[in-house]
Amino acid sequence: MESGKFEDMRRSMVDSQLRTSGVTESWVLTAMGSIAREDYVPVSHQMTAYMDRSLELENGEMLNPPVSTALLLQAADVRADDNVLLIGQANGYVAAILKTRTAHVTTTAADNLGSASANAPYTCIIIDGAAEELPDALFTLAADGARLVTGIVEGAVTRLAKGYVQNGNIALKSIADSEIAPLAAFARKPEFVF
């Protein structure tokens, strides 16, 4: 497909999906309007790369819908001097967006938090997926007062949420109902009952 057609689809995504869903942060709109999302999905999904739905990646993980990504990044309020930890993003798309805002981005899988300790503490933590519960190990990576954004699973619904890490604890506040893929590593552990 001609690159111009992808540019048209990208512009349409920004104008008809992101702006109409309350995304107003200029750096998010600019980055998502310039980074080729189609380069981060399997060839079989390139024609649907800009639709507002999750896309399955070759490794079986999911790329979240553009609106969910944009709202999550807007809520993170990323600043140029932030030390950002991005958790769960497998294909590099969200990391590419973040790198237009700050040079300090560390990425790790949700089941490999220990690999992120070398660059801690983080002033902003972005979990690119939905969690039922957050592991204690995550909070040891956060600076006091760090912003944390994530998807949360509540029954059959996923929501985007934001909170601030204080003394190793966080209280999350829901900011929007939005489709966001659950992360298996952050699933609630089954309780033992007799």
**CA separation for the pair 161, 171 (Å, rounded):** 10
- Written as one letter, the residue type at 36 is A
Give residue for tokens 């006091």.
144
3-state secondary structure the chain: CCHHHHHHHHHHHHHHHHHHHCCCCHHHHHHHHHCCHHHHCCHHHHHHCCCCCCEECCCCCEECCHHHHHHHHHHHCCCCCCCEEEECCCCCHHHHHHCCCCCCEEEECCCCHHHHHHHCCEEEEEEEEEECCCCHHHHCCEEEEEEEEEEEEECCEEEEEEEEEECCEECCEEEEECCCCECHHHCCCCCCCC
pLDDT in tens for each of the 194 residues of the chain? Answer: 567 899 999 999 999 999 999 999 999 999 999 999 999 999 999 999 999 999 988 888 889 999 999 999 999 999 999 999 999 866 799 999 999 999 999 999 988 999 999 999 999 999 999 999 999 999 999 999 999 999 999 888 999 999 999 998 998 999 999 999 999 899 988 766 66
Q: What is the pTM of this model?
A: 0.93
Q: Which residues, at least 6 apart from 140, have a Cβ–Cβ distance to it below 8 Å?
A: 117, 120, 168
Please compute, for residue 62, the number of CA atoms within 13 A of its CA located in the half-sphere on the CB side.
18
Q: Which of 67, 14, 62, 68 is nearest to 41 (CA)?
A: 62
Choose among 75, 103, 74, 68: nearest CA to 89: 68
Helix axes 26-34, 66-76, angle to 10 degrees: 140
Residue with tokens 């702006």: 19
- Whole-number Å distance between alpha carbons of 10 and 32: 8
